[in-house]
Structure 1
Amino acid sequence: MASARPVVTLEVMRTLHVESKTTEADGVVSFVLSGSDLPRWEPGAHVDVEIRPGLLRQYSLCGDPADRTRWRIAVLREEAGRGGSAHLHDAVPQGATLRVGDPRNNFPLVPAPRYRFVAGGIGITPLLPMLRVAEATGVEWELYYGGRRRSRMAFLDELAAYGSRVRILPEDEHGLLPLAEIVSGDALVYCCGPGPLLDAVERLCPADRLRVERFQPREVAETPARGFEVVASASGRTVRVAPGQSVLDALGRAGLAMPSSCREGTCGSCETTVLDGEVEHRDSVLSEQERAAGKTMMVCVSRAVSDRLVLDV
């Protein structure tokens, strides 16, 4: 569960200008943010955007990775959200400024001879730079893009330039995406979108051919809360984590500040190396193989199965 306390973050935020603000679909606006000598990023990267002091939201970079002067993000208005997206839609005009963090990437595009890209709704955003790279390198690829209706699906004009490689399949016209057909074969599958879409793809596609990114935390069957100890290896300090308290909060209260942003296990900013102990993973970032290896954990949500964890802190 996300904490109501202010976010603790150790990353450098930069102030960027809103060069343009464009309506891309019903409920979706894009922002082109301009600066100079911006950090390099690769397809799949996202950034923290400061909505107000202490409140950050994460958005995928969906522009051109080669452009070191502009970043583009797209924001879906979440009517049931906590006000971050509504603020960006209603209160941040062209010409304003936004504070933005460095790119992070939990969803990198790895080399492959064939790709199948699957997007649901706003999940198209991290895939757009991947299409650009796949097209430039000449590999085989296809995109299947679903949404409730065409008017709510962003960047359709931009995608039209790719011709028949792109399948636009609104639910009110075509029904649900034919996922079993899409994930068949030997292509590497990249999927982003709402939780039910990702859950369905994960059931159908072998884990070694699938890469997903979640904007919302996956549902986790939590075990009863229990306390445990965390040893911070760098200082040798031992910190007690109480039942219901996160490792992140326990370390912070002990004066050991950690990078963090989403506090929901989706952004990856608090990933920490585990030197000893067994982890109960509750994040939405690590693959099943990474969880089984137990080498890292997201300290904002994950806990200990063992009575003691030793972390590289």
Structure 2
Amino acid sequence: MNDTSLSLFVRVERKWRASETVAGFILADPHGRPLPAFSAGAHIDVRVGEGLIRQYSLCNTDTDRDQYRIAVLREPSSRGGSIGMHDTLEEGDLIQISAPKNHFPLEPARRTVLMAGGIGITPLLCMAERLAGSDAEFELHYCGRTRQAMAFLEDITQAAWADRAHVYIDDEGTQLSVGEVAGPPDPDTHLYVCGPAGFIDHVLSTCRAAGWSSDQLHTEYFAGAAPSAGDSESFEVQVASSGTRFTVPSDKTVYEVLRDNGIEIMVSCEQGVCGTCMTRVLEGTPDHRDLYMDDAEHAANDQFTPCCSRSLTPTLVLDL
């Protein structure tokens, strides 16, 4: 897999244990040059190993051009990304990354509510710094299972905006009441939520039930949908340019089948989060499993993510 967007080489200047399950990394240009600018909510692609690229949010202030700070949760079910970052990458190593990208930007608002679950704190830290620097009205709500598992707690308590940060820890008996904190719908308030899928879904469903509109609710997921019982069904994909058909069995993705037959598609996260592999669909109805497109884009059924999505019809004809 060749990704031409991974155009930057950076050195790991520092690696540290940000919590019992999270490793922090400071990345800098090996020649001391400024890094590309970024905005709050941005992430970078990181080449963890051969054919293995993962996305990590930038959690330092967006005015800092000397370094990028990222944090990586060690996932028990890692397919190589988090384990590679935790166990293989060391201070002094050179790694390949992309320029910053932002699918989770801050929108102008009178009031901003930030809600983080676990490692979802990473993009929201940068947002909090940006909002504090502009004297905007905002609050940060950070939830975790244990104090030891929560990264950047010390940074938050020592921040100039610490009085606007609220921490909720399960084993200490404190819990976030989403409805109470978010309040009634207000067109001048925007809410940003990041973390595990269950946490995000709870926040969004609570706000929607209270009448919040979709354009006020902003999310960033770190993982795509899990396989479902429907995966037992195989289907076919047809390459429109040649008419060649391939069977996609239950234990393989469309991307894997195409790759194994010499048809390369650019991929990155392989979880339906980043949108890198988006492919046009000419015929058939996809079974969307991604977390990149919105409901309207899913309903159009004219594109899908072959890294994770499947088919509701016997055949998908792809614009390849």
TM-score bin (small chain):
0.7 to 0.9
Verify the 8 A CA contact 1:18 1:98 in the aligned structure 2.
Answer: yes
Distance 2:117 2:276 in 1: 24
Match of 2:292 among 285, 289, 300: 285
Higher mean displacement: 75-84 or 107-116: 75-84
Verify the 8 A CA contact 2:278 2:303 in the aligned structure 1.
Answer: yes
* SS across alignment from 1:151: helix
Verify the 8 A CA contact 1:239 1:251 in the aligned structure 2.
Answer: no
Structure 1 176/11 Cα, relative in aligned 2: closer, same or farther at 3 Å? farther
State the shift of 1:147 in Å. Answer: 0.9
State the shift of 1:131 in Å. Answer: 1.5
Instruction: Tell me the matched-pair count.
Output: 304
| Partner of residue 120, structure 2 | 123
Question: Does residue 1:228 correspond to 2:236, yes or no?
Answer: yes
| Partner of residue 177, structure 2 | 178
Match of 2:207 among 205, 209, 223: 205
Deviation per residue, 1:123-169 (Å, 9 max, x gap): 10011122222223343211100112223222223323213211112
Distance 1:270 1:127 in 2: 26
Q: What are the within-5 Å matches in structure 2 for residues 24-173 of structure 1? A: 24-35=18-29, 36-82=33-79, 84-160=81-157, 161-173=160-172
* SS across alignment from 1:88: helix
Verify the 8 A CA contact 1:62 1:125 in the aligned structure 2.
Answer: yes
Distance 2:151 2:194 in 1: 14
Read off the aligned partner of 2:28 and give its amino acid letter.
S
Read off the aligned partner of 1:282 and give its amino acid letter.
R
Read off the aligned partner of 2:94 and give its amino acid letter.
T
Distance 1:162 1:74 in 2: 21
Mind listing any 5+ residue stretches in structure 2 that lack a counterpart?
none
| Partner of residue 5, structure 1 | none
Deviation per residue, 1:87-139 (Å, 9 max, x gap): 43344332222222343333233333322111111110011122222223343
* SS across alignment from 1:286: coil
Distance 1:148 1:288 in 2: 31
Verify the 8 A CA contact 2:15 2:25 in the aligned structure 1.
Answer: yes
Mind listing any 5+ residue stretches in structure 1 that lack a counterpart?
1-7
Verify the 8 A CA contact 2:41 2:57 in the aligned structure 1.
Answer: yes
Distance 1:112 1:99 in 2: 36
Deviation per residue, 1:171-194 (Å, 9 max, x gap): 222433212223332332211112
Verify the 8 A CA contact 1:9 1:261 in the aligned structure 2.
Answer: no
Structure 1 100/116 Cα, relative in aligned 2: closer, same or farther at 3 Å? same
Question: Does residue 1:300 correspond to 2:304, yes or no?
Answer: no
State the shift of 1:220 in Å. Answer: 5.5
Structure 1 308/258 Cα, relative in aligned 2: closer, same or farther at 3 Å? same
State the shift of 1:26 in Å. Answer: 2.7
TM-score, reference length from structure 1: 0.84
* Identity percentage of aligned residues: 38
Distance 2:137 2:175 in 1: 24
TM-score, reference length from structure 2: 0.82
Verify the 8 A CA contact 1:11 1:102 in the aligned structure 2.
Answer: no
Match of 1:257 among 250, 264, 273: 264
Distance 2:306 2:106 in 1: 25
Verify the 8 A CA contact 1:231 1:308 in the aligned structure 2.
Answer: no
| Partner of residue 193, structure 2 | 191
Distance 1:21 1:76 in 2: 13
* SS across alignment from 1:125: helix
Distance 1:76 1:58 in 2: 12
Higher mean displacement: 194-203 or 273-282: 273-282
Distance 1:9 1:184 in 2: 47
Structure 1 107/311 Cα, relative in aligned 2: closer, same or farther at 3 Å? farther
Verify the 8 A CA contact 1:10 1:258 in the aligned structure 2.
Answer: no
Higher mean displacement: 16-25 or 270-279: 270-279
Structure 1 43/241 Cα, relative in aligned 2: closer, same or farther at 3 Å? farther
Verify the 8 A CA contact 2:62 2:130 in the aligned structure 1.
Answer: no
Distance 1:80 1:99 in 2: 24
